[in-house]
Amino acid sequence: MVNFGDLQTEIYLAGLSGVVPSLPMSFADLERRAEQALPPGTWSYVAGGAGDEHTQRSNRTAFDHWGLVPRMLRARTDRDLSVELFGTTFPTPVFLAPIGVIGICTQDGHGDLATARASAATGVPMVASTLSQDPLEDVASELGETPGFFQLYCPTDPEVAASLVQRAEAAGYRGIVVTLDTWVTGWRPRDLATSNFPQLRGRCLATYFSDPVFRSRLEKSPEDDPGTAILTWATMFGRPLVWDDLAWLRSLTTLPMVVKGVCHPDDARRAVDEGIDGIYVSTHGGRQANGGLAAIDCLAEVAAAVPDVPVLFDSGVRSGSDVVKALALGATAVGIGRPYAYGAALAGTAGVVHVLRTILAEADLLMAVDGYPTIADLGPDAIRRT
C-alpha cells in the first residue's frame, strides 16, 4: 500500500537533484500567491465572507481549540484512509466542496473542468456546483472513474429544478447535495464595495443556459439575448426551502440526497426522518451568515444525532490536521474549499492535485505519528477540547 505521506520522501529525494516544489507547501503561502494571480474582483469574491467576516475567521481559528490525543505503541507502516460513502469506497476521506465560481478561478476560465480532472487524477470526489462555467455534463465527462456529486441551488421554478436534477442523474453523478442556506445571498461587504456579483455579469451560468427547461422560459436564446437570460436567472435563483419541500425534492430522484448547511442536531434528525440520506454540516465557509458558531464546533453534536447516516463537513479546513480533527469529531468525509480554489488559480488541474496531495500527506503522517492507522481508529476519545 502506498501511503499519502510518501509525498514528503518524494519531495526530499527530488531536492537531492536541486528540484524544489514550484507550488506553495503552506496555506499562508498558497493564499498569498493566489491573491497575486487572481483578478481583484475574483479574489475578493473567493476570499471574502459575510459581514466583518467574524464567522469566516472563527471557522478557521476554532480548529485551534481542538487537540488530538497521541496514542503510542500502535505504529503501522501502512495506513488506510479509505471511507465508504453511499455504498462506494473512496481511497481518501476528503472531497472537493462545491465552489460556485471555481470556473473563473483558473487562468483559462474553465476551473470546473480543471477540478474534475484533478478529481479523476486523485480519486477524490468532486461536488460540482450548479453555478458552473461549463455545463454539468461537460464537468461529469472529466471525472473519469471517480464518482462525482451534483450540488443544487434550488431555483424557484420547480420544473427547472427537476430538469437540473434529472440532467445530473443522466450525466452519471452519484448523489445530489442540496444547499439550504443560499436562497438569498448574505451581506458581503467586499463584493458590495466593488459592485461585483459574477453571475449578474453572466459568469458561471452555463448549466442554466444549457438547460432546455430554462431556455424554454426565454423568448430568445442566451446566446442571442444574454441580458434577458441573466435577469431571468436572477429572478429564478433561490427557492426559500421549508420542511414541506423535502418530500418534493426527494421525489425528483432515486439518487442519494444530502442537505447542506445543517448545524443543529434537531434539524439533522428531522431531515433524516423526512427521507434525506446524508447530512452536510457547513456554514458556507462564513460567506452567508456572520456572527454564528464555527462549523467544527457544531459537528460532534450533529454527528451523534444521526449515527446511521453519512455526515459530510466543510468550513475552515486548511490542512491535514484539520481533516483528522473533523474525522475524530464525527465527519464521514471532509470537504476542501478555498485551498483548492487557490491551487486552481496558480496551476489549474496540477494546482488542485498539489493541494489535495499535500493535505492528504499531512493527514496521513499525523495519523501515523499519533497512533491512528485507520480512520476507524479515530473517535471521540482521540480528540479533546483545549
- Residue type at position 15: G
For residue 57, count other CB atoms closer than 10 A to its CB: 14
pLDDT value of position 219: 97
For strands 383-385 and 83-85, give the pairing. Answer: unpaired
Shortest CA distance to 65 belongs to which of 362, 293, 340?
Answer: 293
- State the catalytic residues: 284
pLDDT value of position 245: 98
- Residue type at position 49: G
C-alpha cell at 378: 479515530
Do 325 and 383 meet the contact criterion of CB atoms below 8 Å apart? yes
- Report the distance separating Cα 150 and Cα 148, nearest Å: 7
pLDDT digits (tens, 9 = 90+) for 262-321: 999 999 999 999 999 999 999 999 999 999 999 999 999 999 999 999 999 999 999 999
Shortest CA distance to 178 belongs to which of 115, 134, 240?
Answer: 240
| Residue 199 dihedral angles phi and psi, to the nearest 5° | -65, -35
pLDDT value of position 1: 62
* DSSP for 119-159, written as a single string: HHHH---BEE-SS-SS-HHHHHHT-TTS--EEEE---SSHH
* pLDDT by position in tens, the chain (length 386): 679 999 999 999 999 999 999 999 999 999 999 999 999 999 999 999 999 999 999 999 999 999 999 999 999 999 999 999 999 999 999 999 999 999 999 999 999 999 999 999 999 999 999 999 999 999 999 999 999 999 999 999 999 999 999 999 999 999 999 999 999 999 999 999 989 999 999 999 999 999 999 999 999 999 999 999 999 999 999 999 999 999 999 999 999 999 999 999 999 999 999 999 999 999 999 999 999 999 999 999 999 999 999 999 999 999 999 999 999 999 999 999 999 999 999 999 999 999 999 999 999 999 999 999 999 999 999 999 99
Say if pTM beats, i.e. exceeds, 0.85: yes
- Report the distance separating Cα 32 and Cα 133, nearest Å: 25
- Report the distance separating Cα 296 and Cα 293, nearest Å: 8
Query: In the 8-state DSSP scheme, what is residue 255?
Result: S
pLDDT value of position 2: 75
Do 311 and 350 meet the contact criterion of CB atoms below 8 Å apart? no
Do 211 and 154 meet the contact criterion of CB atoms below 8 Å apart? no
- Report the distance separating Cα 45 and Cα 196, nearest Å: 8
C-alpha cell at 237: 435563483
